[in-house]
Chains A and B, each alone.
Chain A
Amino acid sequence: MTRLHDPQDGLIRRHYRKKGKPQVVEDQLTGAKRAPAAAFEPRLKDEAISVNVESSLLAAGEPLLWGVNLEKFYAARIIVGDCETLGLRAYHTPIDPKPPDDPGNPHHGSIFGIVEARNTDPDAYESILDALSKASTIVPEPTPPC
């Protein structure tokens, strides 16, 4: 588990499509397309938000959408600096493979701090979700061949 310090390092978070369409919103203040706050919510059982670490993907020569099944998910990108600003901590937390079924994930990352906020300060939790949603961009997808 390695702490990520480069504020520009990207963190790729996948989120479900609905009826095949990415749940992208167009922010009316900035005009930018972003993911809704729901994309950054941890499950009850989670200790952190799971992401893929961009620097790890790039070092391995993998695209940002590596491991994202585009029939089911789309991907949003935030950066480490956004997390730091919110008091969150981003780590590179590779998941070891567990044969025979689980291939693991060498690019896995975790954002800590949001679950603690949810459990101790619900308003702060909502503010963090807002900020992550506002800071997010949508990872472009390859255009399907005609």
Chain B
Amino acid sequence: MNGGILTGPYFQNPEPPSLRAPLRSFFEPVVRFILERLTASVTTGAIQAVDEQRESTAVEASLQRIASFKEALNDALELNVEMVNDGEGDQVDSQTVQYAALSLNPLIASMELPTPLVLPLQNGGIGAEWHAYGMNIELRFRKPYDVYAVLEDARSPEEFRGRDPDLERTRIAIGELGKRVRESTNPQVLANLDDEAS
């Protein structure tokens, strides 16, 4: 026993601490942290700005599509009035028009679709058609929940002709049309296609 005398390394004077080492070891992570945060915030800020701009452009485009659809619908209703006045047409049913508008609005708002051809049908119905990018999409809204669809694709032998009350099949076809519109308006996709072709 050593009588409680502590010996050994516990009492050895340690070397005087380097002023540099601890400072570097303290500041380095802090500086790195700040720099990283700064870089991150600048990058995030830039991405956010681009995202916001993109979102704003997308919202504007969406509103524009809805406005064009509304105009096409109004033109069709005006034409229907003219046809009825001439004794050449049956009056369009307002509930059917409402159903058609409510069914198509979300699709038109969310997908990059051209404005459809909207036409009054006889017996109170209303029709909407897209003929573009290799696709024939024809919808005849006869009554609410009574929709006849013709869906044809030049790139596929499959076609659909029949009732599509909830637009389940139509949604897929319209999604494909939207995809093709997007591809055709995206220069990078077109460039890739050119590269593939060459």
Identify the A interface with B (CB < 8 A): 16, 18-19, 23, 25-29, 36-38, 41-44, 118, 122-123, 126-127, 130
Interface Cβ pair total, 8 Å cutoff: 68
Known: A18-B75, A42-B122, A44-B122. A29 touches B136 (CB 8 A): yes
- Closest Cβ of chain A: how far from B153's Cβ, in Å? 8
Instruction: Contacts A37-B138, A37-B150 known; list 19 others, CB within 8 Å.
Output: A16-B79, A19-B75, A23-B119, A25-B129, A27-B136, A28-B133, A28-B134, A36-B117, A36-B119, A36-B129, A36-B138, A37-B140, A41-B123, A44-B123, A118-B123, A122-B142, A126-B140, A130-B138, A130-B161
Q: How many angstroms from the CA of A1 to the CA of B127 in the assembled complex?
A: 33
**Interface size range on B against A:** 20 to 34
23 residue pairs of the A-B complex, CB under 8 angstroms, read A16-B82, A18-B76, A18-B119, A19-B75, A25-B117, A26-B131, A27-B131, A27-B136, A28-B134, A28-B154, A29-B154, A36-B127, A37-B138, A38-B122, A38-B127, A41-B121, A44-B90, A123-B148, A123-B163, A126-B148, A126-B161, A130-B138, A130-B150
- Closest Cβ of chain A: how far from B191's Cβ, in Å? 25
Question: B140, A16: Cβ atoms under 8 Å?
Answer: no
- Closest Cβ of chain B: how far from A131's Cβ, in Å? 10
Question: What string of 1s and 0s marks CB contacts (under 8 Å) between B88-128 and chain A?
Answer: 11100000000000000000000000000101111100010
Question: A41, B131: Cβ atoms under 8 Å?
Answer: no
Complex: chain B residue closest to A18, CB-CB: B79
Of the candidates A26, A41, A44, A130, the one having the most CB atoms from chain B within 10 angstroms of its own CB is A41
Main secondary structure of the interface of A (DSSP, over half): mixed
Instruction: Point out the residue from B76, B90, B129, B138 that lies within 8 Å of A43, measured CB to CB.
Output: B90
- Closest Cβ of chain B: how far from A35's Cβ, in Å? 10
Give residues of chain B (72-87) contacting chain A, Cβ–Cβ below 8 Å. Answer: 75-76, 79, 82-83
Complex: chain B residue closest to A34, CB-CB: B131
Question: A16, B83: Cβ atoms under 8 Å?
Answer: yes
Question: A38, B121: Cβ atoms under 8 Å?
Answer: yes
Known: A23-B117, A28-B134. A127 touches B75 (CB 8 A): no
Complex: chain A residue closest to B119, CB-CB: A38
Q: What 5 pairs between A and B have smallest CB-CB spacing?
A: A41-B122, A38-B119, A25-B131, A126-B148, A28-B136
Complex: chain A residue closest to B127, CB-CB: A38
Q: B150 to chain A: which residues have CB within 8 Å?
A: 37, 130
Q: A19 to chain B: which residues have CB within 8 Å?
A: 75
Complex: chain A residue closest to B159, CB-CB: A29
Q: A44 to chain B: which residues have CB within 8 Å?
A: 90, 122-123
- Closest Cβ of chain B: how far from A86's Cβ, in Å? 14
- Closest Cβ of chain A: how far from B30's Cβ, in Å? 63
Complex: chain B residue closest to A73, CB-CB: B88
Of the candidates A19, A43, A123, the one having the most CB atoms from chain B within 10 angstroms of its own CB is A43
Q: A25 to chain B: which residues have CB within 8 Å?
A: 117, 129, 131, 136
Complex: chain A residue closest to B146, CB-CB: A122
